[in-house]
Structure 1
Amino acid sequence: MATDWQKSSFSGNSNECIEVRAVDGTVEVRESDSPEVIIRTTPAKWAKFLLGARAGEFDAHGDFAG
Protein backbone atom coordinates (compact mmCIF):
# COMPACT_ATOMS: atom_id res chain seq x y z
CA MET A 1 0.00 0.00 0.00
CA ALA A 2 1.30 3.46 -0.89
CA THR A 3 1.31 6.53 1.29
CA ASP A 4 0.65 9.98 -0.18
CA TRP A 5 3.54 11.87 -1.76
CA GLN A 6 5.09 14.27 0.74
CA LYS A 7 7.27 17.30 0.08
CA SER A 8 9.12 19.72 2.28
CA SER A 9 7.14 22.55 3.81
CA PHE A 10 10.00 24.80 2.62
CA SER A 11 8.84 24.20 -0.98
CA GLY A 12 5.65 26.19 -0.55
CA ASN A 13 3.43 25.87 -3.63
CA SER A 14 6.31 25.62 -6.09
CA ASN A 15 7.10 22.63 -8.29
CA GLU A 16 10.79 22.89 -7.43
CA CYS A 17 10.93 20.16 -4.84
CA ILE A 18 11.61 16.52 -4.13
CA GLU A 19 8.71 14.34 -3.01
CA VAL A 20 8.88 11.07 -1.09
CA ARG A 21 6.48 8.28 -0.14
CA ALA A 22 6.49 4.74 1.22
CA VAL A 23 5.26 1.91 -1.02
CA ASP A 24 5.18 -1.78 -0.09
CA GLY A 25 8.38 -1.78 1.97
CA THR A 26 10.29 0.63 -0.26
CA VAL A 27 10.83 4.37 -0.36
CA GLU A 28 10.09 6.24 -3.60
CA VAL A 29 11.55 9.63 -4.46
CA ARG A 30 10.61 11.90 -7.37
CA GLU A 31 10.90 15.48 -8.54
CA SER A 32 7.59 17.35 -8.51
CA ASP A 33 8.20 18.76 -12.00
CA SER A 34 9.06 15.30 -13.45
CA PRO A 35 6.78 12.95 -11.52
CA GLU A 36 7.12 10.13 -14.04
CA VAL A 37 10.76 9.55 -12.97
CA ILE A 38 10.80 7.64 -9.68
CA ILE A 39 13.79 6.38 -7.72
CA ARG A 40 13.10 3.41 -5.44
CA THR A 41 15.28 2.50 -2.47
CA THR A 42 15.14 0.66 0.82
CA PRO A 43 14.12 2.26 4.11
CA ALA A 44 17.63 1.54 5.46
CA LYS A 45 19.34 3.39 2.59
CA TRP A 46 16.87 6.28 2.88
CA ALA A 47 17.57 6.54 6.62
CA LYS A 48 21.32 6.72 5.99
CA PHE A 49 20.78 9.42 3.36
CA LEU A 50 18.68 11.47 5.81
CA LEU A 51 21.37 11.16 8.47
CA GLY A 52 23.92 12.52 6.01
CA ALA A 53 21.62 15.35 4.94
CA ARG A 54 20.95 16.33 8.53
CA ALA A 55 24.71 16.33 9.19
CA GLY A 56 25.25 18.72 6.26
CA GLU A 57 27.18 16.22 4.12
CA PHE A 58 25.45 17.34 0.91
CA ASP A 59 25.50 21.09 1.47
CA ALA A 60 28.23 21.60 -1.14
CA HIS A 61 25.87 20.38 -3.88
CA GLY A 62 23.50 23.33 -3.98
CA ASP A 63 22.62 26.79 -2.81
CA PHE A 64 21.23 26.35 0.68
CA ALA A 65 21.13 30.01 1.63
CA GLY A 66 17.38 29.97 1.24
Structure 2
Amino acid sequence: MWMMNEATAKRWIEQMPVSEEEKNEALKSIKGQPEGKIRNILNRLKSKSGGKFHMNKLSKPMSVK
Protein backbone atom coordinates (compact mmCIF):
# COMPACT_ATOMS: atom_id res chain seq x y z
CA MET A 1 0.00 0.00 0.00
CA TRP A 2 1.34 3.46 -0.81
CA MET A 3 1.65 6.16 1.83
CA MET A 4 0.38 9.68 1.28
CA ASN A 5 1.19 12.79 3.27
CA GLU A 6 0.56 16.49 2.75
CA ALA A 7 4.02 17.21 1.33
CA THR A 8 3.73 14.51 -1.33
CA ALA A 9 0.16 15.52 -2.15
CA LYS A 10 1.20 19.16 -2.60
CA ARG A 11 3.96 18.14 -5.01
CA TRP A 12 1.55 15.99 -7.01
CA ILE A 13 -1.16 18.64 -7.12
CA GLU A 14 1.29 21.21 -8.50
CA GLN A 15 2.14 18.87 -11.39
CA MET A 16 -1.43 17.97 -12.35
CA PRO A 17 -2.82 19.45 -15.59
CA VAL A 18 -5.82 21.21 -13.99
CA SER A 19 -6.66 24.89 -13.58
CA GLU A 20 -4.87 27.02 -10.98
CA GLU A 21 -8.19 27.57 -9.20
CA GLU A 22 -8.70 23.81 -8.79
CA LYS A 23 -5.09 23.39 -7.62
CA ASN A 24 -5.48 26.13 -5.00
CA GLU A 25 -8.77 24.67 -3.79
CA ALA A 26 -7.19 21.21 -3.47
CA LEU A 27 -4.14 22.58 -1.64
CA LYS A 28 -6.40 24.30 0.89
CA SER A 29 -8.55 21.22 1.38
CA ILE A 30 -5.70 18.76 2.12
CA LYS A 31 -4.40 20.66 5.15
CA GLY A 32 -4.84 18.58 8.29
CA GLN A 33 -6.74 15.82 6.49
CA PRO A 34 -6.17 12.10 7.07
CA GLU A 35 -4.52 10.01 4.37
CA GLY A 36 -7.81 8.62 3.03
CA LYS A 37 -9.27 12.06 2.37
CA ILE A 38 -6.04 13.23 0.71
CA ARG A 39 -6.25 10.23 -1.65
CA ASN A 40 -9.87 11.07 -2.46
CA ILE A 41 -8.91 14.65 -3.32
CA LEU A 42 -6.07 13.44 -5.57
CA ASN A 43 -8.33 10.92 -7.29
CA ARG A 44 -10.92 13.65 -7.94
CA LEU A 45 -8.25 15.88 -9.50
CA LYS A 46 -6.95 12.94 -11.51
CA SER A 47 -10.41 12.38 -12.98
CA LYS A 48 -10.72 16.10 -13.82
CA SER A 49 -7.40 15.91 -15.67
CA GLY A 50 -8.84 13.24 -17.95
CA GLY A 51 -7.84 10.26 -15.80
CA LYS A 52 -4.61 9.72 -17.72
CA PHE A 53 -2.27 11.58 -15.40
CA HIS A 54 0.02 9.37 -13.30
CA MET A 55 2.48 10.69 -10.75
CA ASN A 56 5.57 8.49 -10.41
CA LYS A 57 6.77 4.99 -11.19
CA LEU A 58 7.04 3.86 -7.58
CA SER A 59 3.49 4.72 -6.58
CA LYS A 60 1.04 2.09 -7.70
CA PRO A 61 -2.28 3.98 -8.05
CA MET A 62 -0.79 7.16 -9.49
CA SER A 63 2.36 6.29 -11.39
CA VAL A 64 4.49 9.51 -14.34
CA LYS A 65 6.13 7.84 -17.26
Q: Compute the TM-score of the two structures, normalised by the length of structure 1.
A: 0.30
The structure having more radius of gyration, on CA atoms, is 1
Q: Which has the higher contact order (CA 8 A, sep 6+)?
A: 2
Q: Greater helix share, 1 or 2?
A: 2
